[in-house]
Amino acid sequence: MADLPKRGALKVFLGYAAGSGKTYQMLEEGQELRRRGVDVVIGYFEPHGRRDTIARTEGLEMIPRRKLAYRGAVFEEMDTPAIVRRVPGVCLVDEFAHTNVPGSEHGKRWQDVESLLEAGIDVHTTMNVQHLESLNDQVWQITGIRVRETIPDWVLAQATDVVMVDVTPRALLNRLERGVVYPPDKARKALENFFQESHLVALRELALRQAAHEVDTRQAQPEEPGEQPEGPHERILIHITAEPSSAELIRRGKRVADHLHAACFAVTVCPPAGLDQLSTPHREAIERHLNFARNLHVETRVLTGEDTALALVEFARLHQVTQIFVARPKYGGFNRLLGRNLVHRVVRLARQMQVTIVAERHRPGS
pTM of the model: 0.82
30 and 162 in a single domain? The answer is yes
Last residue of a domain, one of 220, 244, 277: 220
Q: How far is CA 47 from the centre of its chain?
A: 24
Measured distance CA(87)–CA(90) in Å, rounded: 9
17 and 157 in a single domain? The answer is yes
Give the list of residues 6+ apart from residue 212 with CB closer than 8 angstroms, or none. Answer: none
Q: Does residue 195 belong to any structural domain of this protein?
A: yes
pLDDT of residue 340: 58
Q: Which domain holds residue 334?
A: 235-358
137 and 272 in a single domain? The answer is no
pLDDT of residue 188: 84
**Is-contact 236 257, C-beta < 8 A?**
yes
CB half-sphere exposure, 129, CA atoms < 13 A: 31
Mean pLDDT of residues grouped by 10 in the chain (366 residues)?
A: 80 94 96 97 91 93 95 94 97 97 94 97 97 93 91 94 94 89 84 88 93 80 50 84 93 92 94 87 95 95 93 94 89 47 89 87 58
CATH number where 263 lies: 3.40.50.620
Instruction: State the total domains in the chain.
Output: 2
pLDDT of residue 228: 47
pLDDT of residue 55: 94
pLDDT of residue 134: 93
248 and 162 in a single domain? The answer is no
pLDDT of residue 5: 79
120 and 264 in a single domain? The answer is no
Beta-strand (E) ranges in 103-172? 122-128, 161-164
**Is-contact 109 98, C-beta < 8 A?**
yes
Measured distance CA(3)–CA(6) in Å, rounded: 9
pLDDT of residue 78: 97
pLDDT of residue 361: 66
Last residue of a domain, one of 187, 220, 253: 220
34 and 165 in a single domain? The answer is yes
β-bridge mates for residue 236, sequence order: 264, 323
pLDDT of residue 331: 53
Distances (CA, A) of 113 to 29, 234, 358: 18, 31, 35
Beta-strand (E) ranges in 129-221? 161-164
Last residue of a domain, one of 193, 220, 247: 220
pLDDT of residue 241: 94
Q: Does residue 4 belong to any structural domain of this protein?
A: no
